[in-house]
Every structure is written in C-alpha cells, then in structure tokens.
Amino acid sequence: MSDLERLAATSAASQPPELTAAQKAALARLHTACTQFEGVFLDMMFKAMRETVPQDGGIFGKQGPGEETFTEMLDEQRSQSLAQSGTLGIAKVLENQLRASVLGNAERESKTQVNPELGP
C-alpha cells in the first residue's frame, strides 16, 4: 500500500460520523443556550463591577434614575454583543464540555425549549 493510499484510508477512518437531524437541532439549541448563558454571566459581572464604583459625587453629582436605567440597559446590550461575538469564549468552552452529553440524548435535547427572547 502506497503512502497516499494509507493516508486516504486513515483520513476516511478518522472522519466523524454524519450527524442526524435531531443531533444537529440539539447542537443548535446547545449553542443558543450557551451563548445566552455567557450573556447573562457577563451582565452579572458588569453589574458587580458597577457596584464597586462610588455613585455619589463626581463631576455631575449623583446619578439619577434615568441614568441608572440607561446604564443597566447599555450593560445588558454590551454583554449580549460580547457573548454573540465569542470574544471571551465562555460559550465555546461550555459547548465543548456538553457536546457529548447532548449528542447522546439528541432526541430529547432537540425538543428542549430555549427562550429566543434572551438572544442571540
């Protein structure tokens, strides 16, 4: 057997099996859920960071309720944008950790409801 034939046989054997429709659906839901989780985690982190900054005083005085609401909304949008971009990679790590479990239970996992309002 030539080197080329041996390489072709090895690469054919190492190809992952074709995914079923249920497995593809389950992986898509896993991706959505992991991205949403990363967004919620980042939003909580931003809120915790904001709590460490003194709110009284400063150049313009104490922050009003409108500014607090705007800041919370801005942080939420930033966290969702960061999660969707994959910059931090939290969702990717979660997906890699949960992939085998989800593929093993693909029929059940493909029917799991994921709230589309939370993003991405």
The answer to whether residue 74 is domain-embedded is yes
Residue 50 belongs to some domain of the structure:
yes
Residue 9 lies in a domain: no
* Position 107 in a domain: yes
What is the rounded average pLDDT for all residues in the chain? 82
What angle is formed at CA 41 by the lines to CA 35 and CA 45, rounded to 5 degrees?
140
* pTM of the predicted protein model: 0.72
Q: What is the mean pLDDT of residues 59-69?
A: 77
Token code pair at residue 72: 């919370």
Domain span including residue 39? 20-118
Total domains present in the chain: 1
pLDDT (0 to 100) of residue 120: 46
Other CB atoms within 10 Å distance of the CB of residue 63: 14
